Structure 1
């Protein structure tokens, strides 16, 4: 029962990640251009304006992997694919050029109230926790 919940959390986080900049909400960064001001990525020009698309790609990758992971029953294959997914997402987040992804995510949640980012982060954490429980769960506990 844990594996389907983990994959469902991954799918929902993929939807939240894909819709981060689709519903009028925008990513922002605090004190990027001037002190005590919030800079929205839609206000930026050049490559920095494309940073929200990296989070959208993380969402798209999560959706694709959730479809694949729902059919995987082997714990070793499941854990290796989940690890591969996390590595791909970290690579995509590393491509953010304006600031660190931690700062962008934190400022977008706290300063801009972007609930899609909050949902993406929380559901990714639930996926990682539930997947960890699934991988380390002892098979003998099912027999009791």
Structure 2
């Protein structure tokens, strides 16, 4: 049962990550161009404007992997696929060129009130905690 709840949170995390730059919410960076200003990614040109798409790809990966994890009952395979998902997400997040993904997510939550980013982070953490309980639980 705990595995299914964890997978639901992964799916919700995927939805939050996929919609992170939609619904009128934009990702932003505090004090990127000038001190005391907030820079929105929609205002940037070039490769920097594509950074929100990396977060959207992380959400899409979470949705795909949640469907795959539903059918896996073996704990070793479940943990391997979960670690592979996290590895792919870290690769995508480190492809951001403007600033670190930590700063983008933090500033978007605190400065721009991007609740999709907050939901993505919170649901991803809940998924990891519940998956840890599932993997290390004794029979």
Q: TM bucket by the smaller chain?
A: over 0.9
- Cα drift, residue 22 of structure 1: 1.4
- Cα drift, residue 23 of structure 1: 0.7
Question: Whole-Å Cα distance in 1 between the matches of residues 117 and 26 of structure 2?
Answer: 10
Say whether residues 1:10 and 2:5 are aligned partners: no
Give unpaired runs (5+ residues) of structure 2: none
The normalised TM-score by structure 2 is 0.99
Question: Whole-Å Cα distance in 2 between the matches of residues 65 and 95 of structure 1?
Answer: 20
Match of 2:86 in 1: 86
Say whether residues 1:57 and 2:57 are aligned partners: yes
* Match runs of 1:25-64 below 5 Å: 25-64=25-64
**Number of matched pairs:** 139
Give unpaired runs (5+ residues) of structure 1: 140-144
Question: Whole-Å Cα distance in 2 between the matches of residues 36 and 111 of structure 1?
Answer: 11
Question: Whole-Å Cα distance in 2 between the matches of residues 99 and 8 of structure 1?
Answer: 31
Q: Which runs of 4+ in 1 moved over 6 A?
A: none
Match of 2:100 in 1: 100
What are the superposed Cα offsets for residues 61-84 of structure 1, whole Å, 9 maximum, x if unpaired? 000000000110000000000000
Match of 1:22 in 2: 22
The Cα RMSD (Å) is 0.4
The normalised TM-score by structure 1 is 0.96
Q: What SS is found at the alignment partner of 1:39?
A: strand
